[in-house]
Structure 1
Amino acid sequence: MEIIAQIKNEIAKKRSFARELQELKMLHSDRFATETQKSTIAQEIKKFQQELGMKDDFQYTANEITVARPTEMLVPLMIPRAGIATIIGGYGAGKTALARHLYKHLLSTRHDTYVKYVDADNPVNKLQEFGVHQLIETYGERFEYYGKRENMDDLADGLENVLRKSIEQQKAFPERSYIVFEDNLKNLMRKNRQGFADLNHLYRYEKVFQSFGGTSIILHHTNKQGIFADSKDIVNFADLAYYVSFKQSTNSIVLEPDKQSRYQIEAKAFYVDPLNREITHEVDYRMANISGEEIRIVEHVKELLLECGEFNQNELEKETRGFRNSIGMGDKRFRAILKKYDGETWKIVRGMNNAMVFEPIEVPNMPNVPNQKNIVSKDI
């Protein structure tokens, strides 16, 4: 009890100093204070700032700016270092599969990377299926996995403990890149009385972590309507945000940037192996983000062109109308698709009376029909 009393006294003393400091700052800015009085007050302000362990200057020096680390992308055009990135999507959208792919990629390609994963979603038997134990054995201290529920009433406490540890480690080893994954925010964040995100605590430790170069990647569920009442704050308080969805037609996880702040990011897509539900590689976003109907009509038009040689637009619309009616595609959307794949799957030339004529093309060794088997692979 004596130790607790001592702690209380120290905290009370610091609070008193903080109040005195605030009053002194107000006096220093008072228009009736003379220059001599301001000089005296400034000396007192420095004393209180030193007592509180605060920097005595709000102004940057040239050296501080010169030695600042330039913006670094951990994953090109997707995840920046020292950023707070939210990945938002419905149940089954592929957020956790994407997170697994990202941390495996970072651990295997960046030897200065240290990953901590806080899992408030999956039971331990799922972790075994994911091969988490194998990664812990492979990477040792570079990969830590949290989320054990025994004797832990408050998952928010557990997350904050991990973040405090990460802050200290990032401070001690600035040459390393520490990354904390939070899965998922709905279960890990502190909530107010209405059950929404407590804005006094939202990303509180993540911001401190960020100030030392740490990176937070935060997974967040939407509800059946596609959004939570506090999702706007969750996005606004972050540096960047993606919305994630799963495209059944191309077996792909698609990421749409919702907020990018000062970072250069872009839409991404990743192919998912239908057997083990794991991401295998990044694919072309546009090709992955198309519907099953679009795939079918592109394939149908390509077959017609290869068989018959060429069609003008009127002939092609008439020839495909029965097929398009069977998949519910009207003329307007069909014309847009014809223009979209000009130069890739067919080419458009001008014929008699300036009519648009469609001719087949074949690009050697390059797939030009979007489907699950030939979506173009890209390096992450």
Structure 2
Amino acid sequence: MIDFLDGIALTSDRLYRETEFLIPDFLPKRMITMYYADGGNAKTWLSYGVAAYICQHNLAKRVYYIDLDNPLDTLKDRGVSELLMNRFANFKYIHRSDLEESPIELLEKLAHKDNSKHHAYEDMVLIIDSWRNVTNIKNDEKAMYMMNLLMDIREAGMTVVGIAHSNKDGKNYEGSNNIKNSLDVMFKQTLLKSVMGEYIVVNLDPKKERSGVRACDWKINTNTLEMTKADAVTSRMDSQETEFVNNVKALLAKHPKGLNKTDVLEGIGTRKDNKTAINLLKKFEGEFYKMEQDGKKHIYSLL
């Protein structure tokens, strides 16, 4: 027998929790989640949306956003004061210009037993933008040290969210393999659509998961930070496809009994042998309208 190990052995009464999600399919509670992408894929806007979603739905006592990347002028341009800081009492924005220690020392302070004991961070969320500003994440030893601190913080009840950049070819995240091996959930983020001054749509593709997360698309209103599930079809449609579908739907709305393929194509101003239009018509069958065969005729009507 080894008394000092027996004394700290895990007991079954501590294994009572089911996995909880702060955001369905995406963000599990009390875990370390990371998403990565090239620059220009709206990582920060997604993070703002995550923070607003949690605060708006009262899913955490406190959300701490540690910004080690963006300059203050950028925060002003993005309207961070109105969108987050002055809007939610349980949200705190920590900027690198106000830190009294290095980012890694901040994590050391959070992970210290005096601060993290007795599940001190239960129902709290820590968002770090971004991990490469904390330490040299390409160095295995330094990356592992950072992850050990984050795991200690997680075990004190914190939900940890980390933003990462992708490597040069954009296929993987930038940094040591120790990062992936230590975290719980990892997504590759892709910007699907961006309408300037209105909204963005991003796809999150899971690359590591321990809790049943799924690939999902999210729409974030950049004026309100409202974050909603995006439709998997419309979020991937370009402007030509959107215009085509809208024209077909408007035409079919005038003909509730349906139209054959030729009448549909000619009715929206294209020739019946236009291959691009034919392919588009087929592509969105079952999504916005249905097709039924009547002998050799293909009859289209709204769903």
TM interval, shorter chain, is: 0.7 to 0.9
Name the larger-Rg structure: 1
CA distance in 1, matches of 2:99, 2:212: 42
Q: 1:295 to 1:55 in 2, by over 3 A?
A: farther
Residue in 1 aligned with 2:289? 346
How well do the aligned residues superpose, as a CA RMSD in angstroms? 3.7
- 1:221 to partner: Cα distance: 1.6
AA at the equivalent of 1:188? V
Distance change (3 Å), C-alpha of 1:124 and 1:159: farther
For residue 263 of structure 1, report the CA deviation from its aligned partner.
1.8
Counterparts of residues 349-360 of structure 1 (less than 5 Å): 349-353=292-296, 355=297, 357-360=298-301
Alpha-carbon distance in structure 1 between the residues aligned to 2:51 and 2:149: 21
CA distance in 2, matches of 1:314, 1:197: 67
In the other structure, the counterpart of 2:259 is 310
Structure-2 separation of matches of 1:114 and 1:262: 24
Three-state SS of the structure 2 residue aligned to 1:350 is strand
C-alpha separation in 1, matches of 2:152 and 2:49: 26
Match of residue 125, structure 1, among 73, 78, 82: 73
Residue 145 of structure 1 deviates from its aligned partner by 2.8
Match of 2:183 among 223, 238, 250: 238
Residue 235 of structure 2 corresponds to 288
Task: Output the amino acid matched with 1:297.
Answer: F
Task: Find the counterpart in structure 1 of residue 166 from structure 2.
Answer: 222
Match for residue 42 of structure 2 among 72, 94, 108:
94
* Structure 2 match to 1:366: none
Contact 2:144 2:178 in 1 (8 A): no
Question: Counterpart in 1 of 2:134?
Answer: 188
Amino acid aligned to 2:241: E
Structure 1: distance between partners of 2:299 and 2:181: 47
**Residue 220 (structure 1) shift:** 0.9
User: Offset of 1:114 from its aligned partner?
Assistant: 1.6
Q: 1:177 aligns with which of 119, 123, 126?
A: 123
Q: Deviations over 1:75-122 (max 9, x none)?
A: 222211111111212222222112122222222322652222211112
Residue 19 (structure 1) aligns with: none
CA distance in 2 between counterparts of 1:313 and 1:55 reads 78
Counterpart for residue 201 of structure 1: 145
TM-score normalised by L of structure 2: 0.77
Structure 2 unpaired stretches of 5+: none
Q: Which residue of 2 aligns with 1:85?
A: 33
SS of residue matched to 2:226: strand
Q: Identify the structure with bigger relative contact order (alpha carbons < 8 Å, sequence gap 6+).
A: 2
- Of 234-243 and 116-125, deviating more is 234-243
- For residues 176 and 57 of structure 1, what CA distance do their matches in structure 2 show? 21
CA–CA distance in structure 2, aligned partners of residues 282 and 240 of structure 1: 20
Q: Cα–Cα, structure 1 residues 279 and 155, in superposed 2: closer, same or farther, change >3 Å?
A: same
Higher helix share: 1
CA distance change for structure 1 residues 133 and 189 in 2, over 3 Å: closer, same or farther? Answer: farther
Residue 175 of structure 1 deviates from its aligned partner by 8.6
SS at match of 1:82: coil
Which of 52, 61, 68 aligns to 2:11? It is: 61
